[in-house]
Amino acid sequence: MTDGLRYAYAVVRDTGAPEAGLDALTALEGVTGVADESVYALRHLGLAVLAGAVPAEDYDEGPLRERLEDMAWLEKMARAHQRVVDTAGAESCVLPVRLATVCHGDEGLRRMLATGRERFASALDRLEGRVEWGVKAYATQPAAEEPPAGAPGTPSTPDSPGAMSGRDYLRRRKAQRQAAERRWGDTEEGARLVHDTLSGLAEQSRLHPPQDPRLSGISDRNVLNAAYLVRREDSADFAERVGELAGRTPALRVELTGPWAPYSFTAMDETSDSEGETESAGADG
Protein backbone atom coordinates (compact mmCIF):
# COMPACT_ATOMS: atom_id res chain seq x y z
CA MET A 1 0.00 0.00 0.00
CA THR A 2 2.04 2.95 -1.28
CA ASP A 3 0.04 5.02 -3.80
CA GLY A 4 -3.07 7.16 -3.42
CA LEU A 5 -3.99 9.66 -0.74
CA ARG A 6 -3.27 9.19 2.95
CA TYR A 7 -5.07 10.94 5.79
CA ALA A 8 -2.77 11.49 8.79
CA TYR A 9 -4.19 11.33 12.32
CA ALA A 10 -1.32 11.33 14.79
CA VAL A 11 2.40 10.79 15.27
CA VAL A 12 3.71 8.25 17.78
CA ARG A 13 7.13 7.02 18.77
CA ASP A 14 8.51 3.96 16.97
CA THR A 15 9.46 1.77 19.91
CA GLY A 16 11.22 -0.80 17.73
CA ALA A 17 8.44 -3.34 18.27
CA PRO A 18 7.67 -5.66 15.32
CA GLU A 19 4.88 -3.30 14.36
CA ALA A 20 5.26 0.45 14.81
CA GLY A 21 2.83 2.08 17.22
CA LEU A 22 1.78 -1.37 18.44
CA ASP A 23 -0.12 -0.13 21.51
CA ALA A 24 -1.96 2.54 19.55
CA LEU A 25 -2.90 0.12 16.76
CA THR A 26 -4.11 -2.49 19.22
CA ALA A 27 -6.44 0.11 20.72
CA LEU A 28 -7.69 0.98 17.24
CA GLU A 29 -8.84 -2.52 16.33
CA GLY A 30 -12.35 -2.13 14.95
CA VAL A 31 -12.12 1.70 14.86
CA THR A 32 -12.44 3.24 11.40
CA GLY A 33 -11.24 6.60 10.15
CA VAL A 34 -12.74 9.56 8.31
CA ALA A 35 -13.54 7.49 5.20
CA ASP A 36 -14.52 4.37 7.15
CA GLU A 37 -11.03 3.06 6.38
CA SER A 38 -8.80 0.99 8.64
CA VAL A 39 -5.85 2.78 10.23
CA TYR A 40 -2.24 1.62 9.90
CA ALA A 41 1.13 2.87 11.15
CA LEU A 42 3.94 3.93 8.81
CA ARG A 43 7.32 4.03 10.54
CA HIS A 44 10.23 6.25 9.57
CA LEU A 45 13.29 7.72 11.34
CA GLY A 46 12.28 6.52 14.82
CA LEU A 47 8.71 7.79 14.49
CA ALA A 48 5.45 6.42 13.14
CA VAL A 49 2.39 8.15 11.76
CA LEU A 50 -1.10 6.70 12.14
CA ALA A 51 -2.84 7.09 8.79
CA GLY A 52 -5.49 5.69 6.49
CA ALA A 53 -6.09 5.49 2.74
CA VAL A 54 -8.82 7.93 1.63
CA PRO A 55 -10.55 8.40 -1.76
CA ALA A 56 -9.39 11.15 -4.10
CA GLU A 57 -12.98 12.14 -4.95
CA ASP A 58 -13.34 13.50 -1.42
CA TYR A 59 -9.80 14.23 -0.22
CA ASP A 60 -7.84 15.49 -3.21
CA GLU A 61 -7.10 19.20 -2.96
CA GLY A 62 -10.02 20.52 -5.05
CA PRO A 63 -12.79 18.27 -3.69
CA LEU A 64 -11.49 18.69 -0.14
CA ARG A 65 -11.74 22.48 -0.35
CA GLU A 66 -15.36 22.16 -1.41
CA ARG A 67 -16.15 19.52 1.19
CA LEU A 68 -14.80 21.71 3.98
CA GLU A 69 -17.55 24.23 3.19
CA ASP A 70 -20.14 21.59 4.09
CA MET A 71 -20.51 21.95 7.85
CA ALA A 72 -22.30 18.63 8.31
CA TRP A 73 -19.54 16.78 6.40
CA LEU A 74 -16.83 18.68 8.27
CA GLU A 75 -18.36 17.84 11.64
CA LYS A 76 -18.59 14.15 10.72
CA MET A 77 -14.94 14.14 9.60
CA ALA A 78 -13.80 15.98 12.74
CA ARG A 79 -15.59 13.49 14.97
CA ALA A 80 -13.99 10.55 13.18
CA HIS A 81 -10.56 12.21 13.38
CA GLN A 82 -10.97 12.80 17.11
CA ARG A 83 -12.24 9.25 17.66
CA VAL A 84 -9.08 7.79 16.11
CA VAL A 85 -6.73 10.10 18.01
CA ASP A 86 -8.39 9.70 21.38
CA THR A 87 -8.68 5.94 21.05
CA ALA A 88 -5.02 5.63 20.08
CA GLY A 89 -4.00 7.96 22.89
CA ALA A 90 -5.94 6.20 25.63
CA GLU A 91 -2.86 4.31 26.83
CA SER A 92 0.06 5.86 24.95
CA CYS A 93 1.43 9.26 23.98
CA VAL A 94 0.19 10.50 20.60
CA LEU A 95 0.64 13.85 18.86
CA PRO A 96 -2.58 14.79 17.06
CA VAL A 97 -1.98 15.98 13.50
CA ARG A 98 -3.96 18.96 12.26
CA LEU A 99 -7.45 18.20 10.97
CA ALA A 100 -7.62 17.40 7.24
CA THR A 101 -3.90 16.73 6.77
CA VAL A 102 -3.67 14.65 3.58
CA CYS A 103 -0.45 13.35 2.02
CA HIS A 104 0.32 11.83 -1.38
CA GLY A 105 0.98 8.17 -0.63
CA ASP A 106 3.29 6.64 1.91
CA GLU A 107 6.15 8.72 0.54
CA GLY A 108 4.26 11.86 1.51
CA LEU A 109 3.85 10.50 5.04
CA ARG A 110 7.60 9.82 5.20
CA ARG A 111 8.34 13.38 4.09
CA MET A 112 6.03 14.69 6.80
CA LEU A 113 7.90 12.69 9.45
CA ALA A 114 11.31 13.72 8.08
CA THR A 115 10.38 17.41 7.93
CA GLY A 116 9.05 17.48 11.48
CA ARG A 117 11.32 14.87 13.03
CA GLU A 118 13.00 17.07 15.65
CA ARG A 119 9.77 18.86 16.52
CA PHE A 120 7.81 15.62 16.83
CA ALA A 121 10.48 13.94 18.96
CA SER A 122 10.75 16.94 21.27
CA ALA A 123 6.97 17.11 21.71
CA LEU A 124 6.75 13.39 22.44
CA ASP A 125 9.42 13.75 25.12
CA ARG A 126 7.58 16.70 26.66
CA LEU A 127 4.10 15.15 26.53
CA GLU A 128 4.88 11.57 27.51
CA GLY A 129 2.53 10.50 30.30
CA ARG A 130 0.40 13.65 30.00
CA VAL A 131 -3.23 14.16 29.01
CA GLU A 132 -5.40 17.17 28.28
CA TRP A 133 -8.47 18.12 30.29
CA GLY A 134 -10.93 20.71 29.05
CA VAL A 135 -12.83 23.02 31.41
CA LYS A 136 -15.61 25.37 30.38
CA ALA A 137 -17.46 27.71 32.71
CA TYR A 138 -20.76 29.37 31.86
CA ALA A 139 -22.49 32.28 33.53
CA THR A 140 -26.03 30.99 33.89
CA GLN A 141 -28.80 33.40 33.00
CA PRO A 142 -30.75 34.77 35.98
CA ALA A 143 -34.39 33.78 36.16
CA ALA A 144 -36.65 36.15 34.28
CA GLU A 145 -38.27 38.65 36.61
CA GLU A 146 -41.88 39.72 36.43
CA PRO A 147 -42.41 43.43 35.78
CA PRO A 148 -42.73 45.29 39.07
CA ALA A 149 -46.34 45.45 40.23
CA GLY A 150 -47.84 48.75 39.30
CA ALA A 151 -45.16 49.53 36.73
CA PRO A 152 -46.16 52.07 34.10
CA GLY A 153 -48.34 50.38 31.53
CA THR A 154 -49.38 47.43 33.74
CA PRO A 155 -53.03 47.05 34.65
CA SER A 156 -54.17 47.86 38.15
CA THR A 157 -55.44 45.06 40.40
CA PRO A 158 -57.15 45.04 43.80
CA ASP A 159 -53.78 44.28 45.37
CA SER A 160 -51.98 47.00 43.40
CA PRO A 161 -54.56 49.73 42.98
CA GLY A 162 -52.32 52.20 41.22
CA ALA A 163 -49.29 52.27 38.99
CA MET A 164 -46.00 53.36 40.59
CA SER A 165 -44.60 56.65 39.47
CA GLY A 166 -42.26 56.78 36.51
CA ARG A 167 -39.41 57.86 38.81
CA ASP A 168 -39.94 54.90 41.15
CA TYR A 169 -40.13 52.52 38.22
CA LEU A 170 -36.85 53.77 36.74
CA ARG A 171 -35.19 53.57 40.16
CA ARG A 172 -36.36 49.95 40.47
CA ARG A 173 -35.06 49.05 37.01
CA LYS A 174 -31.70 50.68 37.74
CA ALA A 175 -31.34 48.62 40.91
CA GLN A 176 -32.10 45.47 38.93
CA ARG A 177 -29.45 46.33 36.33
CA GLN A 178 -26.88 47.00 39.02
CA ALA A 179 -27.66 43.68 40.67
CA ALA A 180 -27.21 41.92 37.31
CA GLU A 181 -23.86 43.66 36.77
CA ARG A 182 -22.68 42.58 40.23
CA ARG A 183 -23.81 39.05 39.41
CA TRP A 184 -21.81 39.01 36.14
CA GLY A 185 -18.81 40.40 38.01
CA ASP A 186 -19.04 37.64 40.61
CA THR A 187 -19.27 35.09 37.83
CA GLU A 188 -16.19 36.39 36.03
CA GLU A 189 -14.27 36.48 39.31
CA GLY A 190 -15.35 32.89 39.91
CA ALA A 191 -14.06 31.91 36.46
CA ARG A 192 -10.70 33.54 37.23
CA LEU A 193 -10.53 31.60 40.49
CA VAL A 194 -11.24 28.33 38.66
CA HIS A 195 -8.55 29.02 36.05
CA ASP A 196 -5.91 30.20 38.53
CA THR A 197 -6.50 27.21 40.79
CA LEU A 198 -6.44 24.64 37.98
CA SER A 199 -3.40 26.25 36.36
CA GLY A 200 -1.55 25.63 39.61
CA LEU A 201 -2.40 21.92 39.38
CA ALA A 202 -1.45 21.57 35.71
CA GLU A 203 1.92 21.62 34.01
CA GLN A 204 0.60 23.93 31.30
CA SER A 205 -2.67 25.66 30.47
CA ARG A 206 -4.20 27.28 27.39
CA LEU A 207 -7.02 29.80 27.22
CA HIS A 208 -9.17 29.45 24.12
CA PRO A 209 -11.60 32.10 22.82
CA PRO A 210 -15.10 31.91 24.34
CA GLN A 211 -17.47 29.62 22.49
CA ASP A 212 -19.85 31.25 20.06
CA PRO A 213 -23.39 30.39 21.26
CA ARG A 214 -24.52 30.24 17.62
CA LEU A 215 -22.16 27.30 17.11
CA SER A 216 -22.38 25.63 20.51
CA GLY A 217 -26.14 25.98 20.88
CA ILE A 218 -25.63 27.04 24.52
CA SER A 219 -27.26 30.34 25.45
CA ASP A 220 -25.37 30.84 28.73
CA ARG A 221 -22.36 33.11 28.36
CA ASN A 222 -19.06 31.23 28.14
CA VAL A 223 -16.68 32.95 30.57
CA LEU A 224 -13.93 30.30 30.59
CA ASN A 225 -12.79 27.97 27.82
CA ALA A 226 -9.49 26.43 28.86
CA ALA A 227 -7.31 23.35 28.44
CA TYR A 228 -4.94 21.93 31.04
CA LEU A 229 -2.01 19.57 30.58
CA VAL A 230 -1.97 17.11 33.48
CA ARG A 231 0.10 14.05 34.30
CA ARG A 232 -2.00 10.97 33.68
CA GLU A 233 -1.58 9.75 37.25
CA ASP A 234 -2.81 13.10 38.61
CA SER A 235 -6.02 13.06 36.57
CA ALA A 236 -8.32 11.78 39.33
CA ASP A 237 -7.18 14.52 41.73
CA PHE A 238 -7.55 17.15 39.02
CA ALA A 239 -11.12 16.08 38.21
CA GLU A 240 -12.01 16.04 41.92
CA ARG A 241 -10.71 19.59 42.31
CA VAL A 242 -12.82 20.76 39.37
CA GLY A 243 -15.88 19.31 41.08
CA GLU A 244 -15.07 21.21 44.27
CA LEU A 245 -14.63 24.49 42.40
CA ALA A 246 -17.89 24.00 40.50
CA GLY A 247 -19.92 24.45 43.70
CA ARG A 248 -18.34 27.70 44.85
CA THR A 249 -20.28 30.14 42.67
CA PRO A 250 -23.97 29.29 42.24
CA ALA A 251 -24.23 31.43 39.12
CA LEU A 252 -21.31 29.57 37.46
CA ARG A 253 -21.80 26.25 35.69
CA VAL A 254 -18.53 24.35 35.22
CA GLU A 255 -18.07 21.53 32.71
CA LEU A 256 -15.14 19.10 32.62
CA THR A 257 -14.25 17.04 29.54
CA GLY A 258 -11.48 14.55 28.94
CA PRO A 259 -9.01 13.13 29.29
CA TRP A 260 -7.99 13.82 25.70
CA ALA A 261 -4.86 13.56 23.66
CA PRO A 262 -2.94 16.85 24.13
CA TYR A 263 -4.52 18.74 21.21
CA SER A 264 -3.86 22.19 22.70
CA PHE A 265 -0.20 21.58 23.51
CA THR A 266 1.30 20.02 20.39
CA ALA A 267 1.66 22.98 17.97
CA MET A 268 1.29 20.65 14.98
CA ASP A 269 0.32 23.33 12.43
CA GLU A 270 3.70 23.07 10.72
CA THR A 271 2.82 19.58 9.43
CA SER A 272 0.99 21.18 6.51
CA ASP A 273 4.30 22.42 5.08
CA SER A 274 5.48 18.99 3.90
CA GLU A 275 6.18 18.65 0.21
CA GLY A 276 3.65 16.48 -1.58
CA GLU A 277 0.84 17.18 0.86
CA THR A 278 -2.56 18.46 -0.20
CA GLU A 279 -4.06 21.59 1.28
CA SER A 280 -4.91 21.12 4.95
CA ALA A 281 -7.38 22.89 7.19
CA GLY A 282 -6.86 23.38 10.88
CA ALA A 283 -9.40 23.27 13.69
CA ASP A 284 -9.21 24.54 17.29
CA GLY A 285 -9.33 22.08 20.11
3-state secondary structure labels for all residues of 147-203: CCCCCCCCCCECCECCCCCHHHHHHHHHHHHHHHHHHHHHHHHHHHHHHHHHHHHCC
Are the C-beta atoms of 7 and 34 separated by less than 8 Å?
yes
User: pTM for this one?
Assistant: 0.71
130-139 pLDDT, tens digit each? 999 999 999 8
Buried/exposed 262-284: b ≥16 CB within 10 Å, e otherwise: bbbbbebeebbebeebbebbeee
Q: What is the pLDDT of residue 251?
A: 77
In the predicted model, is pLDDT for residue 77 greater than 80?
A: yes
Distances (CA, A) of 191 to 102, 162, 220: 39, 44, 14
What's the average model confidence in pLDDT over 276-280?
A: 46
Buried/exposed 21-39: b ≥16 CB within 10 Å, e otherwise: bbbbbebbeeeebbeebeb
Q: What is the pLDDT of residue 285?
A: 36
Q: What is the pLDDT of residue 175?
A: 57
Q: What is the pLDDT of residue 170?
A: 66
110-127 pLDDT, tens digit each? 999 999 999 999 999 999
